[in-house]
Structure 1
């Protein structure tokens, strides 16, 4: 596949309003490198590994070597990449594959945010250089076997202090990327004051047991773990110093939920582009499939969904770049975009017909993977209640 040149649009088919035009050329450069790696190295592996339900870890090195968290062009003089660049980085990964995007953001989004927001300034300064280069890898462990949407009040994993150590007992579930992580950012309830605290637990520590969740029909490449913690000892130095209640965890979720909205937008773009490739090459009744009115109507609806979603996440990124992080903003983006993602991937499957249930067209992957993204980082209903509370000033949570 021919590499993009600097004067070519990154998303000519799925971004008619040219939202990518808000990116600088310096921001587009690492995205072009990512595109080349995904097209040349990742895409040939996707069908085989999705079918097998395994992650292609031979991509770990190429992803790490791209240095996407701190590309040289964007960190000259100690600068930090803009939120819009971070969003398009996720978008580019997700338009190729949702598991790739989820796997990468487990490190670059979830774990890094846990350390940035939950750690003290000293902790983050010590850890972040290694996090950005993947020398220190980790995942975010909040959801439990019996507590998902009600995790704020229901979190059952316990932490008990004993001298300069903490002893953790409990279980976490649906933790993506845990098998290859160095650390598990575990959130547990302090038995002394009943408040939630955060800890970096070494994956290989005594008392930590990981079990692969099997039988998934969505995000099949992503390895999700059921984690059991049985008397796990963690030194005080690995307690996240700024996590003293669930409000502090909520601050992390406020910053991270927009990442999922970008993933949902990228899935739509990938499904739309796959459907478009198909109708441009397929003939029925002696005519191009793309020449039929009903097909064009579906393509138009899909493009509308992608365009609106991309505009929404870009606006959210620019707002967060200004330092404005509101629960209702990220919840609205995740809720609305995930809902329309479902519509987009369903239309893509309709357009591709019977071939839409095979991996060969890519549509089936996006169609299946969308279901997991629809639910994680807050279900549709929970996010709707967050937005509704902001609109009315009244909480409708049970």
Structure 2
């Protein structure tokens, strides 16, 4: 009974804005800072200033609402806690499964067969609340599942895709290596043909979902042909070891891992038959780069929504922050960025749907959108002042989460060079000095 009374007294102290001197517990943010609503109660959407919702089909608008509702209800209340702990909230996965969006554009095998615009809108709505969850989906759906759908055998599709679509099993996609990030085509992991299958040796790094993935889509160099091949590995296979990468400052909910493969045997039935060179991975990367471009769009939407509410709630000098001219200008600049980012992303989807999208189109979209998102989030950080460094108000978390997004699926510079190669006809990936040294 005394414990209950003590708890009630502490709760009463909190309600009065005080705190028991002996408790040692932090105040709830709504008590510690009553002037603004934290992101655990997510702000209403206010970023569609040019009414781009009119550009979407009824199905795409329905997807947007469905994803938004689940993310705001299930993820917003817990995201700051799990971001701080750098842990993944597995208990939310069944709720995400009810959205039926895993597999995106894949038709059949229990996948939703969405338009690429519908899949992009779903990605943005996830990222609007939490960028880590959008990365989880991107890796699982737009990389691993899509690779099996585009490059796998019919037997592989029937075996793996239905459970992946229901999130009953989770997948990761392993291309990047410790020595090869931007220069991914030079990977060193090897696949050697043996009786009945292949033996994989090598390392992968920065692989999202890998610490808990049931299925690992891995790329390795065929020791006979020297070409890149793809394989499906199972969790727990002898010789396969995955360790979590610690101490990240961004996308902390995402579980990135280092993968070590020592004489890992993969049966012939788990080699992806349509991955016979690095160029074959571009079938997947073309779609995933579109999806990655929609991550910063969604992230910027969420930051604008939070800042829009915050500035109207927070008062200084006897007036809401929204009343000051400098703040209004920054807020409008953020809004303009979101309109432009959305329009570029939408056009990218339409180019893909019409079969006109090129690698340069996709790379420019990802590079430019992530650059504009960086500016948008930085402005939001300024607008929130001291609270701009607190995860409770979204902007600090989004500020950090955007940094790895700015880098992965091609850094800003690499994507710029892909587009530049397309418009000039000149590839500039290897510096001239390196070329001369290689001839010495």
- Is TM (by shorter chain) over 0.5? yes
Partner of 1:144: 177
**Which stretch has the larger CA shift, 131-140 or 86-95?**
131-140
Rounded to whole Å, the distance in 2 between the matches of 1:11 and 1:314 is: 22
Residue number among 124, 130, 142 corresponding to 1:91 in the alignment? 124
Instruction: Name the CA shift for 1:247/1:228 in 2 (closer, same or farther; >3 Å).
Output: same
Alignment of 1:51 onto 2:97: no
Mapping for residues 25-174 of structure 1, pairs under 5 Å: 25-69=58-102, 80-152=113-185, 154-174=186-206
CA contact (8 A) 1:14 1:303 kept: yes
What RMSD, in angstroms, separates the aligned Cα atoms of the two structures? 2.0
Rounded to whole Å, the distance in 2 between the matches of 1:302 and 1:180 is: 37
Gaps of 5+ in 2: 1-42, 431-440
Partner of 2:50: 17
Offset of residue 182 of structure 1: 1.1
State the Cα deviation string for residues 85-132 of structure 1 (Å, max 9, x = none).
101000000000000100112111111111122213553354333322
With the length of structure 2 as denominator, give the TM-score of the two structures: 0.84
Offset of residue 209 of structure 1: 0.5
Offset of residue 35 of structure 1: 1.9
Offset of residue 230 of structure 1: 0.5
Instruction: Name the CA shift for 1:169/1:261 in 2 (closer, same or farther; >3 Å).
Output: same
Offset of residue 79 of structure 1: 8.0
Offset of residue 59 of structure 1: 0.8
Instruction: Find the residue that maps to 2:221 and give its secondary structure.
Output: strand
Rounded to whole Å, the distance in 2 between the matches of 1:286 and 1:134 is: 51
Rounded to whole Å, the distance in 2 between the matches of 1:11 and 1:306 is: 16
Residue number among 243, 248, 270 corresponding to 2:280 in the alignment? 248
Rounded to whole Å, the distance in 2 between the matches of 1:59 and 1:319 is: 34
Instruction: Name the CA shift for 1:236/1:112 in 2 (closer, same or farther; >3 Å).
Output: same
Instruction: Name the CA shift for 1:11/1:28 in 2 (closer, same or farther; >3 Å).
Output: farther
Rounded to whole Å, the distance in 2 between the matches of 1:264 and 1:229 is: 33
Offset of residue 270 of structure 1: 1.1
Gaps of 5+ in 1: 1-9
Alignment of 1:379 onto 2:427: no
Rounded to whole Å, the distance in 1 between the matches of 2:356 and 2:302 is: 30
Instruction: Name the CA shift for 1:170/1:47 in 2 (closer, same or farther; >3 Å).
Output: same
CA contact (8 A) 1:211 1:226 kept: yes
Rounded to whole Å, the distance in 1 between the matches of 2:164 and 2:87 is: 24
CA contact (8 A) 2:242 2:260 kept: yes
Instruction: Find the residue that maps to 2:231 and give its secondary structure.
Output: strand
CA contact (8 A) 2:93 2:167 kept: no
State the Cα deviation string for residues 357-378 of structure 1 (Å, max 9, x = none).
0112111111110101000000
Rounded to whole Å, the distance in 1 between the matches of 2:125 and 2:112 is: 22
Instruction: Name the CA shift for 1:121/1:328 in 2 (closer, same or farther; >3 Å).
Output: farther
Instruction: Find the residue that maps to 1:386 and give its secondary structure.
Output: helix
Mapping for residues 351-362 of structure 1, pairs under 5 Å: 351-362=383-394
Larger radius of gyration: 2
Instruction: Find the residue that maps to 1:180 and give its secondary structure.
Output: coil
Offset of residue 32 of structure 1: 2.0
Rounded to whole Å, the distance in 2 between the matches of 1:45 and 1:354 is: 22
Rounded to whole Å, the distance in 2 between the matches of 1:281 and 1:374 is: 31
With the length of structure 1 as denominator, give the TM-score of the two structures: 0.93
State the Cα deviation string for residues 53-88 of structure 1 (Å, max 9, x = none).
1111111110012212479xx99xx98321111010
Alignment of 1:281 onto 2:313: yes
Rounded to whole Å, the distance in 1 between the matches of 2:103 and 2:54 is: 21
Give the count of matched residue pairs.
385
| 4+ long deviations beyond 6 Å | none
Alignment of 1:367 onto 2:399: yes
CA contact (8 A) 1:174 1:224 kept: yes
State the Cα deviation string for residues 265-307 of structure 1 (Å, max 9, x = none).
1111111111111101011111110011110111111111111
Offset of residue 323 of structure 1: 2.8
Instruction: Find the residue that maps to 1:179 and give its secondary structure.
Output: coil
CA contact (8 A) 1:19 1:314 kept: no
